[in-house]
Structures are given as structure tokens and as C-alpha cells.
Amino acid sequence: MIRDSSLCGAMQDNELHALSSIARRKTFPTGQVVAWSGDPNSVCANVVAGAVKVTASTPDGREQIVGLLYPGDFVGHPFAEDATLTVTAVGETDLCLFPRGPFERTLGEHRTMERRLLQQTMESLGGAQQRILSLGRKNAAERIASFLLEVLDRTRPDHEDGPAEIDLPISRGEMADYLGLTIETVSRQLTRLRKDGVIAMAKGDRCCTVLSRERLELIADPD
């Protein structure tokens, strides 16, 4: 179970045992908050199944999605006294939870684990930087295509050829917020992809089938 998470991928058995001894599994239903911004930072976690959205509050009280985390991603900030972001399950989500204090001590005792967490953190930062760059240089069609490819790669990592069904983790309104677009633009772009035979959308708008990854990649990065 815990070995499947990316934090544990390069660990020795004694390190896995140390982490497993403080871990507990918990399933969060859709919409349940895992951590509130400003609350005491009590737990860290790995996403085992499902997905969570990470949000920040703007000065005018609005909620801005700043990240989506998928299976294998790490949730939380060790060594921080208070949570700085709100984390919410966007579908039924299975998390492997670690109390922050024991987790910090375990990191100090097992340097491989600490290095692996630092590597994950840097990869996550790199992904966030790439998304910021894409918001500045990509048009609406390219942003939507890139988002669909991200969901496909993160939720269907073993997919090869042929149509691939994915569950969109967030609504069209949240996609607009996440990608710096309007909801009308998101809807138009999804409709265009559907009419062009690149994707198919099931009733309810959350179930999407990527019919042609190659065409989606060409739209996402035409250069």
C-alpha cells in the first residue's frame, strides 16, 4: 500500500517500516476539506487514490485554485506551524496521513526519505512554474488541451494507444479559474474539441474520453 506512493519509491525496508508505523489511511468524500488555510498544520499526507485541489484566498475573499494533486503526490508542509493553503477532496479521495510531529522526526532519522521529499517538492515547484509560463504564452485552446493531457497523464499513467476515458477532477467553472479563462471560453473550447472528434464528453460533463492523444498534443503545443 504505502510502498506504491512516490515518496516511498526509493526507500529501504527499515525506512518504509518507520513511515508505516505512523501512517493511517482515510477516505475523504467529495468536497471534504483536508486542511484549512490558517489552521494549525497537524498532518501531512500522500494521495493514494483520487485527487485534491489546493486553493488560496484572494484579498477580496475569492478562492483561487493554485494546484491539483493526484496519486503519488505529497500534501502538506512539514516544519510549518500553520497551514498556508486549503486542501479539498475533489472526488472520493484516499489519503495516507502522517501526523506532522512524528513525520518530521522520521524525516530527520531517515535522510533518504528527506531527500525524496525534497525532490518531490522541487518537481512540484517546477510543474507550477511551467503552468504559470503556459498561462502567459498559450491561447485558450492550448491551455484546455494541455489540461486534458495533464489529467490523462496523471490519472492514466499506463495508458498507451487508443481512446482513454478520464474523469475531470474539477468543474468547468473551476477549470476556468485554474487556467485563467472564463467559463464560457472553457465550454466553447471543449465543444470545439468534441465537434472536431478529438474528445467525447459523456452526460454530466465530468467524464471525458480522449479519442486522439496525438491531435490533442498538436493543439497543446503547435510548435
Q: What is the pLDDT of residues 157-174, one digit of tens each?
A: 777 778 999 999 999 999
User: What CATH code is carried by the domain that includes residue 56?
Assistant: 2.60.120.10
- State how many domains the chain has: 2
Q: 35: which 3 cell numbers?
A: 486542511
**Looking at residues 93-113, what average pLDDT do you find?**
87
If asked whether residues 81 and 160 sit together in one domain, one would say: no
For 105, the 3-state DSSP assignment is helix
- The CA distances from residue 50 to 26, 30, 129, 143, 170, in Å, are 12, 10, 23, 23, 12
Which residue has 512554474 as its cell numbers?
129
If asked whether residues 116 and 172 sit together in one domain, one would say: no
Q: Choose between 204 and 220: higher pLDDT.
A: 220
Is the pLDDT at 127 greater than 90? The verdict is no
- The CA distances from residue 26 to 45, 49, 67, 69, in Å, are 10, 11, 21, 16
Return the pLDDT at 8: 60
Strand order in the sheet with 63-69: 33-35, 86-89, 52-57, 63-69
Q: What is the pLDDT of residues 36-65, one digit of tens each?
A: 999 998 888 989 999 999 999 877 878 889
pLDDT > 70: percent of the chain: 92
Return the pLDDT at 141: 95
* CA-based nearest residue to 211, from 174, 164, 177: 164
Q: Model's pTM, two decimal places?
A: 0.83
Q: What is the pLDDT of residues 186-201, one digit of tens each?
A: 999 999 999 999 999 9
If asked whether residues 74 and 9 sit together in one domain, one would say: yes
Return the pLDDT at 1: 37
- Range(s) of the domain holding residue 34: 2-134
* CA-based nearest residue to 180, from 154, 147, 223: 147
- The CA distances from residue 58 to 36, 37, 108, 129, 131, in Å, are 14, 12, 35, 20, 19
